[in-house]
Structure formats: C-alpha cells, structure tokens
Structure 1
Amino acid sequence: MQFTIRDLLSIPLLSSAKLLSANNIISSQAIESVTVMEIPVEDFIKRNELVLTTAIGCGNNPELFLTYVKDVHSSGAAAMAIAVGGHVHYIPDEVINYCKSVNFPLIELPWEIRFSDILKIILEQLNCWEQQSINKADTLQRELLKLYLDNHPIDEVIKFLSKEFQMDVELKCKEQIENSNSLNEISELISTDQPDIIRYDNGKFLQIVPISPLLNQDPFIILFKSRKLNAKPIPTSILNCIVSILTLWIQKEMTSMISKNKEKNEYIKTLLNGSWTEKEAFINQGKKLGFEVNLPYICVVGFPEKLKEFYILHKKESIQEIEKDFKRTFAEIIENISKKLKKHIIYTFQRDLVVIFLECDFQEANHEVNCFLDLIDTFVEQNHIPSISWGIGENYTGNLTFHLGFKNARTALEIGRSHKGPGTRNTFASTGIYRLLISISNNSMSMELMHSTIGAIATYDKNNGLDLIDTLSSYIYHQGNVSQTARALSLHRQSLLYRLRKIEALTNRSLNDPDDIFLLQFCLKLWSVRFENNESYAIAE
C-alpha cells in the first residue's frame, strides 16, 4: 500500500544495487520523498526521505564518511544510496557496521546508474502511491461513516479495519499499553502527537496512531504486522481518515460507558442499602447490567493497608493517581480471579473500602472465601497491591440480603482489625466475644468492676514503667505455665515470678484460683475494648 525500500529494490533499473544493512525492515520502511545530497547535511533532509549521494569528499577520509552517514541517519532519512566507482571506490567497513548496528538501510549503487533516472522512476511511483492513498482514504471514510450511522459497535469497526488492512488492529489507551505484558516496553517510545512505527529485529512491525485525548484518556490505534508476510505500513493520509471517524465512535462509546458505570454504581448502592422495592424488577435490572443477584453470595470487605506509602514507593505521588491505580489494578485482579474460579463476583469501592460479593456454596462458604482471598494474597506477595485487612460476613448473604452481609462483613473488619491487627482475616462469627464486650463496656457496673479489679495494675504500670497488664495477659494465654510465659516475654523466671506476686498484691486476687483467673481475664478483655487506641478510618454508609 505504501512505497517502501523493498519496492525500490524491485525496480529493474536497480537490479544491480546491493542492500548492505537492515534487510529486516525494508518491507516496512516507507519512502515518502527522494533527494540528492552531498555534505554537509544540515537541515535539508526530510523524514522518510531517500538520500542519493556520490559521497564526494569522503573517499579518503573514513571518519568523515562515517560522520556523514550518521548525520543522514539522525535526520530521519528512510535510507541512503551511495554511488560507488566515481568519487568513492568502496564503502568503509566502519560505515557498514554502523548502519547494521542502528538498523539503517544502506544501499550500494553502481556508478553507471544515473540519479536522474532513479529520481524519475521514484517520483512516478510516489505520485501513483499518493493517488491510490487518496482514493483508498475516500472509500474507507465513506464505509466507516456508514457503519457509524448504522450504530455498529466499535468492536465491529476494529474487526472491519483488521480485515481491510490484513493486519491485527487494536484500540488501547496509554494506561493499557503501559500495563500490557507485550506492549509496556514501548510505552516510553510512543508519541501522543504523531503516528509512529516500531520495528523489530525479526522483521515484524507495529504502527501506533494517537487519537485526540478524550475524557482524560490517551487512546491509540495499534496495527500489528502478523498475518501477511509482506504487509506494508498504512499511509498517514489513510490513518488520519480513520482517526477522524474513530473519534466520533470513542466519544459515543465513552459517554455510553460512563452512563452505564453510573447506573451500575447506583444499583450496587441500592444493593448495599437494601432499599429496592419490586424484587423481580430489581433482579431483571441487575441482569441487564451484568449482575446475577438471585444467587447465593458471601460478602467480603477489605481495607488496603498503607496504600499511600505503597504507591509512593512505586512512584505514584498524587492521591488521585494512587486511588485510580489501586482501583484499576484491583479490578483487573478480581476480573481474572472471577474467570479462573468461574464464579460470579460483584465488587465496588466504598471510600477507603473494597466491597466484594463472592458467589459460593453455603456448605463450602468458608473454604471458598479463603481460597478466593489466598488468590488475592498472591498478588500482594508479588508486590502488585498492598496488604489488605479483611472482614467476612455471614454465609446467608444472597436472595437479596446483600445489605445484611455487607453490614456484618464491615463489622468483622472493624473489630478484627482493631483487636487482631492489620492484614488479618476476620469473620463476623469470630468477633462475637468483642461485640459482646463492646456492649458490656457501656454498662456502668461492668466498668466499676473492671477498674476495681485491674485499675491498680494500670496505675502501677504508668508510674513505674512496667507492663504488668501485658504480663498478666500472657500468663493467662499460656494457661499459667511460667516457663512458656517467661520465654514469650523474654524474662528471667525469677523476674516473672516477682511480677506475678506484684499482680496478686495489687489486685487482691489469687492466680491459683480459677474464679479469680476468669475475672482477671474478663477484665483484661474489657479493658482492651474500652481503652485500646483503635485506628479509625472512613466507612461509607
């Protein structure tokens, strides 16, 4: 479709010409103009221009010859053809090796071929190619406009272009390119202003065509040479035609996508609040949005730990960029896990929280949810996302009781994270003792009992710099085993015994009496619930 170096070398007049370098790119390197040039180069060479030269003045100076070729290459020339036999009798090895190293086509021409004959043929070819491109662009534009007016989806348009060009065609934004395993290595090379061609050593190439930025996106058309061995780059005039039409499609698709996402968010908000009215209508609305809500689900709520620090480490500095990057990465992870497990998953982001409903078998709910979280943990271990604290709701979530599962999972997260630490998993059932203690902590009689039992220990700790509260807690945890407690606290046995006697004296309770032990343990748990300095975080209501 475009006049290339391969087309140039196939001209009968140039049958005796020799290609000395860059054989792998001659099918994709376009020639858009031709000129005759001698030193100095300065700014007289156009991009993708074929340079014809006799290299006059360079024959006896290999260093000057090499500098001349480097200047031509750096100017963006398509290739350089040197007439040998007049002013230069051979091309130095240094020049040939340089052209091979930078993949720049270097052609050796016999002295007998007139430049005027070459110019005439190439200009005729270029004029013919330009007229073909204009006709092709006009035909393509009319066909694309018809597809647009007939409301065909953009995916069908991409398939149409792929068939038309006999190349793989994709539409991606810059963010997708940066996060693609096959494309991320070129993300720094692409320009957002003009089309570009990326060539590979195996002869394959891809064209990247920027589209006007829309809604904070940088969309690109990417064309891969993969199906046809001698596929040629698509001319710029045709690509510009495609871009002008695709811009209309993208605007329409993005507007539709934003509207649908807004509708999905409103639907999930209703799901979390339990505020629907007509059950069947609500289920049918969910199906239209891709949600199968009439299935059994278990709710899992997560809180990403140290999110800002994690992404600053990964060079994401603004809070908006941090949140956007986490949501995008986490959404991709959930989508991949959903396909792997072949389970329906409904998820959303509520302020600082991740809310997930996982389809499950109630008989296997605990096993399934832990397998699911184990898969997410693999991405934490690979440093793709930060550590996440989890709260797991009751198994009855489903049959439109999502709001109850969400409430329980959020409670499990809050209480578990506060009392068992960040990065842990906690079920609603496992937090029962803490929910009971929180309720009891509001009773004045319970508070008076707690203060009268272990208040003296806390006062002693504050005045003397000891930690008798922690000592008592560890002793009870190890079921009164002095040796195990001493090891756990890194204390000498005699030091531990001294502390235990001090605790008995301050509380007027015996550590050998089961009833006293029970009372001390109860007061310790109540103390932790009442006075622990819990970290707070926002939760969407």
Structure 2
Amino acid sequence: MGLTANDIIQLPVLETSAVKTGKGLLDGKQVEWVSVIEGPVENFVRKNEFVLSTGMGCEEHPEKLEQFVLDIIKSGASLLGIATGRYVFNIPDRIISLAAQHQFIIVEMPWEVRFGDVLQSVLQEINKEKQEQRNQAEEVRKQLISSVLHDKGLTDITDVVYQHIQMPVAVQNEAGDIRCHSCFEEAEAALFESSASNQNSHFPASIGIVDDHPLYHHMEPGFLQKRPCYRLPIQNNHKIQGYLLFQPEIGQPLTWFMMNVLEHALTAFALHFAKENAVEMAEIRLKDTYVLDLVKSNQPTGTQTAKAGLLGYDLSLPYTCLVGKISYKNQVDFRNDNPANSSLQSLNFNLQKEITNAGAVLNRRTMATFEDGEVIIFLEDSEKLYYKAANQFLDIVERRLYAFLPILEISWGAGKHEGGIDCFKESYQEAKTALEIGRKQHGAGGRTFFEDTRINRLLMNFASDEAIVQIVSQTVSPLIAYDKKRKTDLIRTFLAYNQHKGNVSQTARSLNLHRQSLLHRLRTIESLTQLSLVDPDDLFLLELSVRLWMMQKIE
C-alpha cells in the first residue's frame, strides 16, 4: 500500500492536530506527495496528495471555503489539513458535512504548527518509503537476472514477476503464441486484442497508474475476453522479440514498485530471448557446416555418421536434395544497413527457421546449409510423393519467407536418389544441374526437377561440338539480329508455334497477336533462316538450334 494517511497523522509534528472527518478512511488512503495551496485549485493538486491550507481569502466568505474544499475533493487528494486560528477559527459544520458526504479526510491543525515542519516530516517519510520500494525493486531485479544467468526457464521468471505484482502475467513470442504464463488461461492470453484495433470497445480510464513512470508510454491497452489488459514489448537490439501481458483487477493501482518490477522483467525476458537466439544460431552454424561437408564428401565417414546422430540427423533415410539460388527482384543496396538489423544478415537465420517449420508441418526431417547465396536442403522423401512433397515443402517455405522479404526470389533445382547414405554428393550435383538448366531455360524463380531435364542434359553433352556450334550460330544469329533491330521476339514466337504443334489460331491467342501478324512473323522466320516450318527436318533443325541457344552453351 505504501505510505498511508494514518502514517501521516501519527507523525510527531501532527500530534496536536485532530481528524475531523474520515477517521475510518485513514488506513486506506495512500499519500504520495504533500503541498501547500491557497486560492483556486484548478489543476495544481494531483491525486493522492496531502494538501495544507490556511483558508486565506475565505475568512469572510464561507461559501468560498466550501468551494475550495470541494475542488480539493474533486482533485483526488487523499486528505486536507486546515490551519485554524487566523483566517479560519473553526471549521464550519457545512464543511464537515460536505467532507463526510464525499468520504474525505479533513485534519484540523493548530496555527502554531509550521507548514515547513510538516512538509519536512512528510517528505522524509515519502523519501523513506520510496527508498524502501527502490531497494525492494533492486532485489527483484537481482532475482530476475539471477534466474536468467542460472538458465531458469521463462516459466520461472514469470512466476517471480507474478509473486511480486500479484496479477496474471504471460509472455508471447513475436508471432503472438504464448510461451509461458502465471494465472492466465493460455488459450485466453493468446487472444489479446489491442484497444486501438477495436473501435467498438471502450477501454476504461486508467485508475492508479503511475503516468510519469518511463514505462507508462510503452504500455499498450487492450482486451482479453472483453476484460481490460495491458501489453509491453520485449525488445532486443531495437527488434521486438515478444510481449509481456499483465492484467490488473479493475481499479487495482499500479504503483511505482509494480512498474519497476515490470521494467526489470522486460530486461530479464529480453536477456532470455537473446540467450535463446545465441544458442539457436550456434546450433544452426554447426548444422550448416556439417551438411556442407556432407555434400562435398564422396562418402560419409564413420565420424560424420556418428556426428549426424548428435545433431538429430538420420543419414539412412531417403532424401530429396533441393538447391536454391537466392536473387532479388530489384537492385538493392544494403551497404548502409545496420549489421544487427540487415535483411542480408538475418536471411540465412530466417530461411533456416522456415525450412524447419515446413518440415514440421509435413512431418518430414530436413537438413540444410548455405554457401555463396545458395541454399542446400535435404528433405526426407518417399517414392510415391517425390514431386508432391517437394512442391508442398517449397510452397510453405516461400509463402512465409516472401512475406518477410517480398523482394526475394529463389530458383530451385531438385534431385532424388534412393542409394541411402552414400548418395548425398551425387544428389546435390544433380539438383544443382537441374537448377542451372532451369535458370537458363526459364529464368529466375522457377522449380526444375532433375528427371525433367533429360533432353537438355542430352543436348549439353554435344553442345560443344564445333560443327554443331557453327550450324546453330548460322541458324539462330539472323533471328537474334532481327529481334534486336526491330524490337520483336521471333524466337519466342517460334517456341509458341512449336508448342501448339503448328496451330496458328492457338499460337496467336497465346501470344495475344492478330492472326495476320503471326503469319507475317512466321514468314519472316522462314525467310531469315531459309528453313520451312512445314518441313519436319527443317523444323527439327530450328528447334534444336533454339534449344541449344537457350541453354547458353553456344554464342
């Protein structure tokens, strides 16, 4: 409760004073400050103050004294001391009746009692009480920090906070999930709704909250099941790690001590999250190094196999290898980024978390690492669901990751082997081959499976033959030169025409061209290449040449 009106009345300096009204209220009235005022009250008196007055200016106007007392009552002051003997000889009955009606404490003080002595005595008690609260809060701070340093869990820290503030508390992570709580229903605590987002709900006026405490301006009012609640952000390196929820009873005051405990609790939770992140980052680095070593080795050694078990990996399972190339949709300059907050600095960490999350959703084991803008993933596989499982997995990863970094774009290649423990390097090489072929053929952002690249791999095997190089160059170069000069796209036109098996109407619709415009382009292709689009041999030669050119193996 802190310093009460009864504590004030018991001071030696007030032993000759008399309580005229509100004797039964003395133990329940808190006193936080003392002041002297005469004349208009206006906003010069704050809540829980002990106000001293001589009644000067009201000696011949009882109604002024009555209005003065009424204004003091409305200000929220705890009690009023009136010095009698000069301006007010006796406190009028109407004033006593008014104070009794409003359950307010009035103390009659002899004129001989100096206000300076009263101020000194009361301020000493207030300072003593404040110092006791500071000492108590410091002990709580030590207790909370000790809990973190001795690797106590979030629940232990939350219990310490509850023990000292005696109100339900809970900790949310950044996503809003409840990590721990004391005297909260977990399902209920996860339903915090900010009062700013609910315009139809009226948040009650703050009662007994220390609004000059630094923490006050960070308190976010809200509701849990339509009951008022508060939320405070837990920050580390200017980044929100989670939230601290607490729910005082309606009318329950929040004292300086409680606010200090909450402030120290935020520090303890921030330290705990920082330790968690450090451990998680260390574990990720160990796994990164291990998986990278796995794809570089021809065959896992006995040491690698044993280490796999320590990291939670099972090398005996069949895996699909997924290799992703990270790129950006727009040119981005990260040179001035704060390293602690840079998107590039945190990309691998967030991507690893999304990979782990996607594996958990599909109930499949994963292993992942990163190297030079490339992400390598081994996804637990099954024979029947190879394509489906890989696509589902990548859908989950990309959906959450693109929400975090919308400028990001990842191209994927996939390779699958059933050879078990000896095939990690081979499946990685096949996935990387599929990735390179897919990027050259379709550009960035696509997915290519190794099994679907058989024709392209066949072409790659003889694309370096000098005779073939010359034939392809003679065939494709006129089309490239024409496209550059006329700003057309004859190669794309031919590919669409070939895809639709020579159907002019379907090709025109797919290219959004008029039929006559398409026919003009097809005649131009025949004229430039000296090949007929209705002759099977010519058509094969042109398709082969365009495919090899698109593979970017021949200039």
Tell me, what secondary structure is at the counterpart of 1:361?
coil
- Superposed CA offset, 1:207-264 (max 9, x none): 6788xx7xx5779896543598969665577678879999998887776555444433
Q: Secondary structure at the match of 1:511?
A: coil
Q: Matches of 1:447 and 1:35 in 2, distance apart?
A: 96
**In structure 2, how many angstroms separate the alpha carbons of the residues matched to 1:464 and 1:199?**
62
Distance 2:48 2:395 in 1: 59
Alpha carbons of structure 1 residues 402 and 119: separation in structure 2 relative to 1, 3 Å: farther
User: What do the CA deviations read for 1:270-322 (whole angstroms, capped 9, x no partner)?
Assistant: 2332377633x32332333343444322122334452666999xxx9668612
* Partner residue in 2 for 1:471: 493
C-alpha contact (below 8 Å) 1:198/1:205 kept by paired residues: yes
Identity, in percent, stands at: 23
Deviation at 1:526, TM superposition (A): 1.3
Aligned to 1:270: 293
* Alpha-carbon offset, residue 521 of structure 1: 0.8
Q: 1:122 to 1:511 in 2, by over 3 A?
A: same
The 5-angstrom pairing of residues 440-519 of structure 1 reads: 440-462=462-484, 467-519=489-541
Query: 2:459 aligned to 437, 444, 465, which one?
Result: 437
Give 2:366's aligned residue. 345
Amino acid paired to 1:278 = T
Superposition TM-score, scaled by structure 2 size:
0.63
2:382 aligned with 1:361, yes or no? yes
Q: Alignment partner of 1:295: what SS?
A: coil
* Structure 2 CA distance for aligned equivalents of residues 15 and 354 of structure 1: 73
Q: Does 1:204 align with 2:220?
A: no
Q: 1:423 offset after TM fit, Å?
A: 2.5
Deviations 1:477-498 (A, max 9, x none): 2211222233344444444434
Equivalent in the alignment of 1:51 = 49
The equivalent of 2:206 in structure 1 is none
Query: Which amino acid is the alignment partner of residue 287 of structure 1?
Result: G
List aligned pairs for 1:99-498, cutoff 5 A.
110=104, 112-113=106-107, 131=132, 134=135, 138=139, 141=142, 152-155=151-154, 157-158=156-157, 161=160, 164-165=163-164, 195=215, 198=219, 200=221, 202-205=227-230, 216=237, 224-226=245-247, 235=258, 259-274=282-297, 278-279=301-302, 281-306=303-328, 321-324=342-345, 326-327=347-348, 329-379=350-400, 385-386=406-407, 388-396=409-417, 399=421, 401-462=423-484, 467-498=489-520
- In 2: Cα distance, 1:460 partner to 1:241 partner: 72
| TM-score after normalising by structure 1 | 0.64
Going from structure 1 to structure 2, the CA distance change for 1:239 and 1:224 (only over 3 Å counts) comes to closer
**Compared CA separation, residues 275 and 38, structure 1 to 2 (3 A):** farther
Query: Based on CA coordinates, which of the two structures has the bigger radius of gyration?
Result: 2
What is the rounded CA distance, in whole Å, between the counterparts of 1:245 and 1:487 in structure 2? 64
What letter is aligned with 2:34? T
Aligned CA distance change for structure 1 residues 169 and 448 (closer, same or farther; 3 Å):
same
Question: Helix, strand or coil for the counterpart of 2:532?
Answer: coil
3-state DSSP of counterpart to 1:337: helix
Deviation at 1:515, TM superposition (A): 1.8
Equivalent residues of 2:508, 2:518 under 8 A apart: yes
CA distance in 2, matches of 1:182, 1:310: 38
Query: CA distance change for structure 1 residues 507 and 311 in 2, over 3 Å: closer, same or farther?
Result: closer
Q: Do the aligned residues in 1 keep the contact of 2:322 with 2:414 (CA within 8 Å)?
A: yes
Q: In the TM superposition, what is the alpha-carbon distance from 1:387 to its structure 2 partner?
A: 5.5
Q: Are the equivalent residues in 2 in contact too, given 1:362–1:395 (CA < 8 A)?
A: no
8 A Cα contact 1:389 1:417, kept in partner: no
1:416 and 1:371 mapped to 2: Cα distance?
19
Q: Which runs of 5+ in 2 are unaligned?
A: 8-20, 58-62, 65-71, 83-90, 96-101, 110-114, 180-189, 196-212
Question: What per-residue deviation string (whole Å, max 9, x for no partner) do you get for residues 401-438 of structure 1?
Answer: 33333333233223212311332221122233333333
Structure 1 letter corresponding to 2:475: T
Amino acid at match of 1:362: E
Bigger RCO of structures 1 and 2 (CA < 8 A, at least 6 apart): 1
Deviation track 1:108-148 (CA, whole Å, cap 9, x = no partner) reads 76363569999989986985786487468659857975x78
Provide the residue aligned with 1:23 in structure 2. Answer: none
Counterpart code for 1:523: S
Q: How big is the shift at 1:446?
A: 0.8
Tell me which amino acid in the other structure corresponds to 2:465.
N
Q: Structure 2: how far apart are the matches of 1:136 and 1:334?
A: 43
Task: Read off the aligned partner of 1:33 and give its amino acid letter.
Answer: E
- 475-484 vs 454-463, which moves further: 454-463
Return closer, same or farther for 1:456/1:310 CA change in 2, 3 Å cut-off.
closer
Change (3 A) 1:307 1:155: farther
Alpha-carbon distance, 1:329 to partner: 4.5
Residues 274, 239 of structure 1: alpha-carbon distance in 2 compared, 3 angstrom cutoff: same
2:440–2:551 Cα contact (<8 Å) kept: no
